[in-house]
């Protein structure tokens, strides 16, 4: 095929980028070579629009073993153990083919983690769907949830939590962000840098087919009316093979055979081989005839660009091929020596005895474009005066809120995930953070995913800060010391200055919060071009975070534990209604500045909460977020079936006190006898703490105003999603 302007454009390369291809090659590339440039320089693989800003995020702390740049981030949790984790998007494929898109998203993130030597111990997912009334939403929810479950359940890694939002801005671009957390020995972490000239390059796992060719390029472009035609670019997952691959890799990793290992994710054999060679400063020669293939007559172009799943590339120590082969044969997986490392710094590919591609590695991998795209700061919205926001009956508003799509129980979703396999799930889904015991120890990890996209739209900077702060709070609320963050930045088209502005400001906000809270970013993923026909998604910088609990017996959950316990609110309540769910769900308005996050206070309050939990002073803890204080109270009541009576503050309009979304707040319960100690400790820690009520009964009461049965709230909260999903159009 001749390289025409059309061919270049169809590979997603701009004219300037193609000029650089010509300079690097010193000649016209052939089609295979052009394909390789195209995927390596795609937004998905090269981070060319976001790189400049990602570099500003804090990535270091004494407990960080490996920050961004490897397959996943690695942190030290003491006792010779390390936690390896990352969150990654599979947005574009999941919209086109929800079951396989979501399933392979789970498969891909699992590989990122076990390729570094960790046994995956927990999966999470952050999902964003369109308006429930949109014709496709039900079908997408059903497919994505079935896909995540179908994959995760089979591989035997518990899916322990996550979050699900609905908003019309995701009608044409849903978000499927999957996170895996794994456990490894701190002195047995595997990296991807190739080493040792002459060492064998080995392919293991599934055979290569024609599926997923150009997936990375597809994920780097906007959707239009014809996005359905991109279905063939979606990969097909095989969780059974993945399970075998996990066991085989971990078995081989226990020996001393592996020099370097890298999973074949986006851009398949191309990106894995280039990354390994580039990191090691070496060259690779591969004979593509040796690649296990499941289809006939595959060209070099197809072999290099296939995104067939469940495959790994390894560099072995010389002479260790037979040991490794035996392990993979035991697990009935393909094993093939497909090449060796060279000192040429070049990627030389052969097919049918001919050299079919010969490219310099570093210029491709390291000199990928980096753009300083023009950006504009968003218009700041005015701060709403709560007194100017119409009041509704608090119980009518509460009923609307607990049954609105964002706050309704997600039990319908997480009951389709095996959240208990591995027998270490101490807190099941539905709480502030999942709690997973470190197998065989008294320690546990807390895991959460967070982002409030409506805040990010209103003010990306504040929204970025809030996403990080909320993750910090959710970990603290179960008694965990927050350790590190993985970020999954989902935005629209970065070529538009206002979208680029969202990216820049959100990253700046996240960076501020991470620095202030000693909460470094150790891994991440960027998904741009989440637009359809020019309509972008809400800016959604999803945060996944991990914290450590030293004694799994000293953790907290949000359910009320008994009658007659005191309820305290920690943190200040000012009645901030701008960008609140009350405003959106009850009044139908999406306006106002979002609540500001006071980072210095967050840290103090988080420390205070963790101390209270560690000392056994509190019986239940719940972070206050979406919906505000009354919703948080209702969630604690619904989790337990126990009611409460609370006394509203007199200095604020009732609706602002009930539903304001002031940040940095928790609700806790305690025995009356403990309250003086708690108040005293709070005072010394300069943390605001106030007794506002008492647990008990079967109703949630606002003293002097009225009440509602907890059972009614539960029925509303549990009812929405099953009712929505059982609509006859489910399979439309």
Partner 1 sequence: MQAAVIVFPASNCDRDVAVALHSATGRPPLMVWHRDSEMPKVDLMVVPGGFSYGDYLRCGAMAAHSPIMREIKARAAKGVPLLGICNGFQILTEAGLLPGVLMRNAGLKFICRDVHLRVESAGSLFTRNYAEGSVVRFPIAHAEGNYFADPETLSRVEGEGQVAFRYCTADGTVSAAANPNGSAGNIAGVFNGSRTVLGLMPHPERLADPLLGGIDGRAMFDGLVEALS
Examine residue 47 and tell whether it contacts partner 1 (CB under 8 A): no
- Minimum CB distance to partner 1, residue 551 (Å): 11
- Indicate the residue among 205 and 594 with the shorter CB distance to partner 1: 205
- Indicate the residue among 420 and 698 with the shorter CB distance to partner 1: 420
Among 191, 331, 529, 560, binds partner 1 (CB under 8 A): 331
Q: Is the torsion defined by CA of 558, 563, 566, 568 positive or negative?
A: positive
- Minimum CB distance to partner 1, residue 425 (Å): 7
Q: Are 517 and 510 in contact (CB under 8 A)?
A: no
What does the alpha-carbon distance between residue 57 and residue 75 come to, in Å, rounded to a whole number?
Answer: 17
| Residue 68 in tokens | 């961004």
Interface characters, 158-187, with partner 1 (x: CB under 8 A): ------------------------------
Examine residue 154 and tell whether it contacts partner 1 (CB under 8 A): yes
- List active site positions: 44, 90
Q: Which listed range, 132-140, 164-172, 421-429, 453-461, lies at the site for partner 1 (CB under 8 A)?
A: 421-429
Q: Is 145 helix (H, G, I), strand (E, B) or coil?
A: helix
The CA-to-CA distance between both ends of the chain, in Å, stands at 41
- Minimum CB distance to partner 1, residue 239 (Å): 7
Examine residue 553 and tell whether it contacts partner 1 (CB under 8 A): yes
Interface characters, 598-617, with partner 1 (x: CB under 8 A): --------------------
Q: Binders of partner 1: how many residues, by CB under 8 A?
A: 32
Examine residue 156 and tell whether it contacts partner 1 (CB under 8 A): yes
Q: Count other Cβ atoms within 10 Å, centred on residue 345.
A: 15
Among 2, 379, 388, 423, binds partner 1 (CB under 8 A): 423
Among 66, 74, 118, 155, binds partner 1 (CB under 8 A): 155
Q: Count other Cβ atoms within 10 Å, centred on residue 240.
A: 12
- Indicate the residue among 390 and 440 with the shorter CB distance to partner 1: 440
Among 120, 150, 541, 592, binds partner 1 (CB under 8 A): 150
What does the alpha-carbon distance between residue 680 and residue 678 come to, in Å, rounded to a whole number?
Answer: 5
Examine residue 135 and tell whether it contacts partner 1 (CB under 8 A): no
What does the alpha-carbon distance between residue 125 and residue 105 come to, in Å, rounded to a whole number?
Answer: 10
Q: Is 144 helix (H, G, I), strand (E, B) or coil?
A: helix
- Minimum CB distance to partner 1, residue 6 (Å): 41
- Indicate the residue among 224 and 415 with the shorter CB distance to partner 1: 415
Examine residue 417 and tell whether it contacts partner 1 (CB under 8 A): yes
Residues 670 to 689 in contact with partner 1, rule: CB under 8 A: none
Examine residue 363 and tell whether it contacts partner 1 (CB under 8 A): no
Examine residue 437 and tell whether it contacts partner 1 (CB under 8 A): yes
Q: Are 545 and 482 in contact (CB under 8 A)?
A: yes
What does the alpha-carbon distance between residue 219 and residue 90 come to, in Å, rounded to a whole number?
Answer: 8
Q: Which residues contact 541 (CB under 8 A, 6 or more apart)?
A: 451, 456, 463, 464, 467, 487, 488, 489, 490, 491, 506, 507, 510
- Indicate the residue among 172 and 209 with the shorter CB distance to partner 1: 209
Q: Which residues contact 608 (CB under 8 A, 6 or more apart)?
A: 570, 681, 682, 685, 687
- Minimum CB distance to partner 1, residue 435 (Å): 10
Among 65, 146, 554, 652, binds partner 1 (CB under 8 A): 146
| Cα dist from 381 to 14, 501, 584, 699, whole Å | 36, 15, 15, 38
Q: Which of 352, 190, 209, 367 is nearest to 278 (CA)?
A: 367
Q: Which residues bind partner 1 (CB under 8 A)?
A: 146, 149-150, 153-156, 238-241, 243-244, 331-332, 414-426, 428, 437, 552-553
């Amino acid at each position: 095929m001749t390289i025409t302007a059309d061919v270049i454009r169809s590979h997603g390369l701009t004219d300037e980028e193609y000029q650089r291809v010509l300079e690097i090659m010193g000649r016209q590339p052939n089609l295979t070579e052009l394909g390789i440039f195209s995927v390596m320089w795609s937004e998905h693989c090269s981070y060319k629009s976001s790189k400049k800003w990602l570099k500003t995020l804090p990535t270091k702390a004494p407990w960080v073993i490996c920050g961004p740049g490897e397959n996943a981030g690695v942190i030290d949790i003491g006792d010779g153990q390390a936690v390896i984790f990352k969150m990654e998007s599979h947005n574009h494929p999941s919209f086109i083919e929800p079951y396989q898109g979501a399933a392979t998203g789970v498969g891909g993130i699992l590989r990122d983690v076990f390729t570094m030597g960790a046994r995956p111990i927990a999966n999470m997912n952050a999902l964003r769907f369109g308006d429930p009334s949109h014709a496709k939403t039900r079908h997408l929810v059903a497919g994505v949830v079935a896909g995540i479950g179908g994959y995760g359940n089979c591989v035997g890694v518990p899916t322990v939590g996550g979050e699900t939002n609905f908003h019309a801005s995701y009608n044409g671009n849903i978000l499927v962000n999957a996170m895996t957390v794994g456990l490894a020995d701190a002195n047995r972490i595997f990296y991807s840098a190739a080493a040792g000239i002459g060492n064998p390059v080995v392919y293991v796992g599934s055979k290569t087919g024609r599926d997923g060719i150009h997936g990375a390029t597809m994920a780097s472009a906007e959707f239009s009316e014809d996005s359905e035609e991109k279905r063939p670019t979606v990969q097909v997952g095989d969780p059974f093979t993945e399970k075998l691959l996990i066991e085989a890799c971990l078995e081989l990793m226990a020996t001393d055979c592996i020099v370097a290992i890298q999973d074949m994710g986006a851009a398949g054999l191309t990106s894995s081989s280039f990354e390994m060679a580039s990191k090691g400063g070496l060259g690779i020669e591969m004979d593509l005839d040796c690649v296990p293939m499941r289809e006939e007559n595959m060209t070099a172009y197809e072999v290099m660009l296939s995104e067939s799943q469940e495959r790994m590339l390894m560099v072995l120590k010389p002479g260790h091929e037979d040991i490794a082969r035996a392990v993979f044969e035991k697990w009935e997986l393909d094993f093939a020596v497909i090449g060796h490392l060279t000192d040429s710094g070049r990627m030389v590919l052969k097919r049918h005895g001919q050299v079919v591609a010969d490219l310099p590695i570093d210029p491709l991998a390291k000199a990928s474009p980096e753009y300083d795209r023009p950006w504009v700061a968003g218009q700041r919205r005015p701060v709403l005066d709560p007194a100017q926001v119409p009041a509704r009956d608090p119980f009518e508003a509460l009923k609307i809120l607990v049954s609105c799509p964002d706050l309704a129980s997600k039990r319908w979703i997480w009951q389709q995930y095996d959240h208990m396999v591995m027998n270490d799930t101490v807190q099941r889904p539905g709480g502030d953070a999942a709690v997973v015991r470190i197998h065989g120890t008294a320690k546990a990890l807390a895991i959460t995913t967070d982002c409030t996209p409506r805040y990010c739209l209103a003010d990306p900077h504040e929204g970025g800060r809030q996403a990080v702060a909320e993750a910090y709070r959710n970990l603290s609320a179960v008694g965990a010391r927050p350790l590190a963050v993985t970020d999954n930045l989902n935005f629209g088209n970065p070529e538009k200055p206002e979208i680029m502005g969202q990216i820049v400001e959100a990253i700046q906000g996240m960076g501020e919060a991470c620095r202030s809270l000693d909460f470094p970013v150790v891994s991440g993923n960027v998904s741009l071009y989440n637009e359809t026909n020019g309509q972008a998604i809400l800016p959604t910088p999803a945060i996944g975070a991990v914290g450590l609990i030293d004694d799994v017996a000293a953790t907290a959950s949000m359910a009320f534990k008994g009658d007659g316990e005191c309820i305290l609110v920690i943190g200040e309540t000012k009645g901030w209604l701008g960008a609140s769910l009350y405003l959106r769900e009850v009044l139908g308005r999406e306006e106002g500045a979002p609540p500001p996050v006071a980072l210095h206070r967050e840290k103090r309050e988080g420390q205070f909460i963790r101390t209270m939990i560690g000392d056994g002073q509190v019986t239940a803890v719940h972070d206050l977020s979406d919906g505000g204080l009354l919703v948080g109270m209702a969630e604690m009541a619904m989790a337990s079936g126990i009611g409460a009576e609370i006394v509203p503050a007199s200095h604020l309009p009732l609706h602002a006190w009930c539903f304001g979304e002031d940040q940095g707040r928790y609700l806790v319960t305690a025995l009356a006898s403990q309250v003086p100690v708690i108040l005293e400790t709070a005072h010394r820690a300069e943390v605001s703490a106030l007794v506002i009520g008492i647990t008990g009964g079967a109703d949630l009461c606002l003293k002097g105003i009225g009440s509602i049965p907890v059972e009614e709230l539960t029925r509303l909260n549990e009812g929405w999603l099953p009712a929505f999903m059982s609509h006859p159009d489910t399979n439309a």
